[in-house]
């Protein structure tokens, strides 16, 4: 058995590692805010009317090919939603999410790429909050249209539960992520919030306050799209 002194020394040695883990999760949240701000400042960016109709936004900075198995991809980021029973309130605390898939790296040619996904209705949001979701199968997904408005968007895009965008080497575009999966990153959420929580606990139940690392991200969304302009009937 370890003596109390040995246990104390072991804990002291682990402290830097634990602190580093916490900082890594906080950095993910901060970086997500930076990426979203940069993308929303691109002239030919995400249409404002689509952003105003989104119940949630998923931001995944620097998804890289080869980071998840052979020929696969793995990205980490956040999902943040409007608060309130019908997603009509201010933006709330974020939950950490992971993107996995075998098609992403092929499409991007191996370049590190930032992704922004708009979750366009409550059904899509609830799917992501309750289980691991395969895009295109468990939730309908489409490449998002660009430009200041989405007037030219196709019916497929307008009916999609999730619209996806990418930025790689300064190029911004809508991109299909069908076949990839999104899931709540449970261990990362535990590190960030210092307790075991589901994504639904964080986003819908409001069991925790947003961490300081998320303040810039929330302020940005509250400024850019303070009101949900979806058809009220679609939120019932």
Whether residue 171 contacts residue 107, with contact meaning beta carbons closer than 8 Å, is answered with: no
DSSP state of 212: G
Rounded to 10°, the helix 4-40/215-224 angle is 20
pLDDT tens digits, 19-55 = 344 568 999 999 999 999 999 998 888 999 999 999 9
pLDDT tens digits, 200-231 = 999 999 999 999 999 999 999 999 999 999 98
Q: Rounded to the nearest 10 degrees, how much is the dihedral formed by the CA atoms of 204, 219, 30, 201?
A: -10
What are the beta bridge partners of residue 134?
Answer: 181
Lookup: tokens for 202: 């964080």
Report the mean per-residue pLDDT for the chain. 83
pLDDT at 68 exceeding the cut of 90: no
Report the 10 Å Cβ neighbour count for 171.
10
Lookup: tokens for 49: 């009317």
CA dist., res. 184 & res. 193, Å (int): 14
> What value does the CA radius of gyration of the chain take, rounded to a whole number of Å?
18
């Amino acid at each position: 058995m370890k003596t109390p002194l040995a246990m104390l020394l072991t804990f002291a040695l682990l402290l830097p590692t634990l602190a580093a883990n916490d900082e890594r999760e906080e950095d993910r949240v901060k970086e997500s805010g930076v990426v979203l701000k940069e993308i929303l400042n691109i002239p030919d960016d995400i249409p404002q009317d689509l952003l105003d109709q989104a119940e949630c936004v998923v931001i995944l900075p620097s998804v890289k090919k080869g980071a998840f198995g052979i020929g696969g991809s793995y990205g980490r980021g956040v999902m943040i939603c409007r608060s309130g029973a019908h997603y009509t309130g201010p933006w709330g605390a974020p939950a950490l999410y992971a993107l996995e898939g075998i098609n992403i790296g092929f499409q991007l040619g191996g370049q590190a790429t930032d992704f922004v996904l708009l979750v366009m209705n409550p059904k899509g949001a609830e799917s992501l909050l309750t289980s691991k979701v395969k895009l295109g199968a468990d939730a309908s997904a489409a490449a998002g249209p660009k430009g200041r408005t989405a007037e030219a968007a196709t019916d497929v895009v307008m009916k999609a539960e999730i619209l996806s965008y990418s930025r790689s080497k300064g190029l911004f575009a809508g991109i299909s992520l069908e076949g990839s999966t999104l899931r709540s990153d449970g261990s990362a959420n535990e590190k960030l919030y210092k307790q075991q929580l589901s994504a639904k606990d964080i986003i819908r139940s409001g069991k925790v306050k947003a961490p300081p690392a998320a303040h810039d991200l929330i302020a940005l969304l509250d400024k850019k799209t303070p009101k949900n302009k979806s058809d009220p009937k679609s939120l019932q």
